[in-house]
Structure 1
Amino acid sequence: MAEAGTASIAQDGARIVARGDWTLDHIDTLADLARTLKRRAGAGARVEAAGVARLDTAGASMLLDLVDGEEARVEALPAGARGLLAAVARAQAGPAATPAKPDRGFVAAVAQIGASLETFWHNTTALVGFIGLILASIARIALVPTRWRVTSTFFHIEQTGFNALPIVALLCFLVGAVVAFLGATVLKEFGASVFTVELVGYSFLREFGVLLTAIMVAGRSGSAFTAQIGSMKAREEVDAIRTLGLQPVDVLVIPRVIALLVAMPILTLVGMLAGIIGGGAVCALALDISPTMFITRLHETTTVTHFWVGMSKAPIFAFLIAAIGCLEGFKVSGSAESVGTHTTSSVVQAIFVVILVDALAAIFFMEINL
């Protein structure tokens, strides 16, 4: 069995002579010995380690403990062991930093608000610049039919439009039924249940039809755009497109934008009809308003202006959702986590922008009496 490491204090009291194996096998003995010698040795004592036969990281830590971590006070150590001692000394000199406690209080709250505003400003300027790039690209290829990507455009029309018809119709039907039921419950107290027809007609033609459709498209198609382009960015397919001499905006963005511009008005029309049908069903079942009476009153009291107010917002929402979805896809850094993060960001930003623009449009149409 290897000889356990030993140490003793020289006659001058200024040196500690170390011998034997300073290894993990003898760590308990070495720890007790180091504590005893530190108490007995004078301040600044040096260690003479010429007699050390074997040394590992545990033994090096014990030697450094004898000299309070000062590597230079360990003398005559063999060259190979000297490198190990130096590595252990560096490790002990740079302990892992403890995580800083999060700031709290008023200053931290103000700093968080400032950071959020800065992020909002950066996202806004990036979106405006990307919209400009899309418009410039459309203008550049509009008069060059050979650069139109018809197949890709029709594929995305099918994906974003026709495949989304069932969920949009079902959602708007159910919301229309809920709006009619709540309206009838309130208006019944005033003996004005018949005005539920106008409530359903106005709300879905002007607001709910296009707004609910836009929210569904943002969550379904906008996120899909981000995930698709983000995955291509992660696999370096976007760089490959540039290598082929093509513009990623022309290949990836414009077909999706055009597809959503075509699909969104169709989905909005279906949403309006489904919401009105849902309201009519509640009126027929709960208010004794027959379908014929519902349609007649809707025709007499609801003008076509309300329909065009709602439809005019559909292309704007479609363009914004497509632009945000594609822009977030191009922001992906290359990892799967980044794809998920930017997909979530795409949905949140698109819904926020849609609701903001809808509120501004409502104020605008109210001011011009439409």
Structure 2
Amino acid sequence: MATDLSSETRPEAEGLALSRTGERVELTLSGAWTTELAARREAALAGLPPWQGRELLLDLEAVSQLDTAGAWLLLRMAREAEAAGLVVTWQGLGEARRRLVEKVAEHESAPGEPARPNRLVAIVERIGEKTVTAGGTARDLLNFLGLVTIALARNLTRPARLRFTSVVYHIERTGWDALPIVGLLSFLIGVVLAYQGADQLAKFGAQIFTVNLVGISVLREMGILITAIVVAGRSGSAFTAQIGTMQVREEVDAMRTIGLDPVDVLVVPRIVALSIALPLLTFYSDIMGILGGAMMSWIALDISPLEFLRRFEAGIRVNHFYVGLAKAPIFGYAIALVGCFEGLKVTGSAESVGLRTTTAVVEAIFVVILLDALFSIFFSVIHV
């Protein structure tokens, strides 16, 4: 004898009625089984008693509407009954609903956890991605170099186009305002070179050659290199931040709209200014570095300043000074180029300004050291 359990456990509005005949369970569904009622239907199914028996009949004759959400709920319930050992039979589906249920069943299972890639493969892949990115950046920077060089030549052949007020302003900001930090660092570098050099040369009884060590190191390499790195971190980042902020405020787009070339207005004055300021800073850095070396030689080796100058004049050729100074305009051009390049790549967010500023400092220092290495090889080949 069949017992109708729906009146005891399920309100009719919930769209289902459960009855049992021996080992056969019959679940009669009615009403709409759609996305709008999915939460109610899911709660009704969750309240059903545990599945017991051998067969489950799902009767959909009275179902007025069925969409993917309703089909998924019924499929999930059928899977639970099958897991409990019941054989599930569908009744009243019709051709259209049968295709819908089959389609939902195809996409019912959740995707499995993706296989973990091999660690070595992941490292190689990451290196490849970084290499491709670096190659693209180098290509874009080379294109920008050509664009700026053409604009610079156009401004130099027609001086009226060059914004001298802007050039002088940036010389002051990148040169004059950088004197304290450049002077302090160069002085300390001279002190360190003299102290470490004297300590090592003492093993051979050649402390007097500390003067030569300090002079050649500061004039050829340390003076220009320390100055360029400081300027890259100070002025290169400032160029990126300034132009990047203008990008965020759409001021660069406004320049293009009124017929102004951002390269002429923003980039060329900064490049000209830094190409002038960096040689002057390098000369100042050389003086401060040698002064620091002379002071430490006086303290550690008892070499008087007058004796230091005599040894310096006798042992240091003027070529060393020219070698260091010749690098300065090229380094200044490169630092300003990278700073402006990254500034123009800023997109419309403050986060992008910070990211590009950091990138500009790293790229500028890398370019400076790379150029210094190439200069060292070149001067070695030509015996200068």
For normalisation by structure 2, the TM-score amounts to 0.79
Aligned to 2:140: 126
Aligned to 2:17: 7
Q: Between 124-133 and 190-199, report the one with greater CA deviation.
A: 124-133
- Measured after TM superposition, the shift of residue 37 of structure 1 is 8.2
**Per-residue CA distance 1:140-183 (angstroms, 9 max, x = gap):** 22233332212221221111111111111111111111111110
Aligned to 1:340: 354
Matched-pair contact (CA < 8 Å) for 1:205–1:272? yes
Separation of aligned partners in 1, 2:161 and 2:243: 20
Match of 1:269 among 249, 264, 283: 283
Match of 2:77 among 66, 69, 73: 66
Separation of aligned partners in 1, 2:277 and 2:54: 84
Aligned to 1:36: 51
**Per-residue CA distance 1:113-150 (angstroms, 9 max, x = gap):** 33232222222221121111111111222233332212
SS in 2 for 1:41: strand
Separation of aligned partners in 2, 1:214 and 1:108: 37
Separation of aligned partners in 2, 1:308 and 1:20: 90
Aligned to 2:98: none
**Per-residue CA distance 1:316-351 (angstroms, 9 max, x = gap):** 000011111111111112222222222111111111
Match of 2:267 among 227, 231, 253: 253
Establish whether residue 198 from structure 1 lines up as the match of residue 198 from structure 2: no
- Measured after TM superposition, the shift of residue 360 of structure 1 is 1.1
Unaligned runs of at least 5 residues, structure 2: 1-9, 81-89, 94-100
Separation of aligned partners in 2, 1:35 and 1:332: 61
Taking structure 1 as reference, are residues 23 and 101 closer, same or farther at Cα in structure 2, changes over 3 Å only? closer
Taking structure 1 as reference, are residues 129 and 319 closer, same or farther at Cα in structure 2, changes over 3 Å only? same
Aligned to 1:170: 184
1:8 is aligned with what amino acid?
A: L
SS in 1 for 2:29: strand
Match of 2:164 among 129, 136, 150: 150
Aligned to 2:378: 364
Aligned to 2:86: none
1:66 is aligned with what amino acid?
A: M
Matched-pair contact (CA < 8 Å) for 1:8–1:18? no
Separation of aligned partners in 1, 2:215 and 2:288: 11
Separation of aligned partners in 2, 1:164 and 1:175: 17
Aligned to 1:237: 251
Report the structure number with the largest CA radius of gyration. 2
User: Aligned Cα RMSD in Å?
Assistant: 3.5
Match of 2:29 among 17, 24, 28: 17
- Measured after TM superposition, the shift of residue 282 of structure 1 is 0.8
Aligned to 1:81: none
Separation of aligned partners in 1, 2:75 and 2:276: 75
Matched-pair contact (CA < 8 Å) for 1:210–1:314? yes
Separation of aligned partners in 1, 2:175 and 2:351: 28
2:262 is aligned with what amino acid?
A: P
SS in 1 for 2:221: helix
2:18 is aligned with what amino acid?
A: S
2:308 is aligned with what amino acid?
A: F
- Measured after TM superposition, the shift of residue 94 of structure 1 is 9.4
Separation of aligned partners in 2, 1:115 and 1:357: 25
- Measured after TM superposition, the shift of residue 303 of structure 1 is 1.2
Match of 1:116 among 130, 136, 148: 130
1:65 is aligned with what amino acid?
A: R
Establish whether residue 352 from structure 1 lines up as the match of residue 363 from structure 2: no
Aligned to 1:287: 301
Taking structure 1 as reference, are residues 110 and 14 closer, same or farther at Cα in structure 2, changes over 3 Å only? same
- Measured after TM superposition, the shift of residue 196 of structure 1 is 0.6
Unaligned runs of at least 5 residues, structure 1: 77-85
Taking structure 1 as reference, are residues 37 and 217 closer, same or farther at Cα in structure 2, changes over 3 Å only? farther
1:36 is aligned with what amino acid?
A: W
Separation of aligned partners in 1, 2:261 and 2:109: 49
Establish whether residue 188 from structure 1 lines up as the match of residue 202 from structure 2: yes
Matched-pair contact (CA < 8 Å) for 2:25–2:53? no
Taking structure 1 as reference, are residues 254 and 37 closer, same or farther at Cα in structure 2, changes over 3 Å only? farther
SS in 2 for 1:332: coil
Aligned to 2:319: 305
- Measured after TM superposition, the shift of residue 47 of structure 1 is 4.1
Separation of aligned partners in 1, 2:364 and 2:345: 15
2:274 is aligned with what amino acid?
A: L
Matched-pair contact (CA < 8 Å) for 2:18–2:25? no
2:290 is aligned with what amino acid?
A: I
Matched-pair contact (CA < 8 Å) for 1:63–1:74? no
Separation of aligned partners in 1, 2:134 and 2:32: 66
1:33 is aligned with what amino acid?
A: L
For normalisation by structure 1, the TM-score amounts to 0.82
SS in 2 for 1:33: coil
Matched-pair contact (CA < 8 Å) for 1:218–1:350? yes
> Identity across aligned pairs (percent)?
47
1:31 is aligned with what amino acid?
A: A
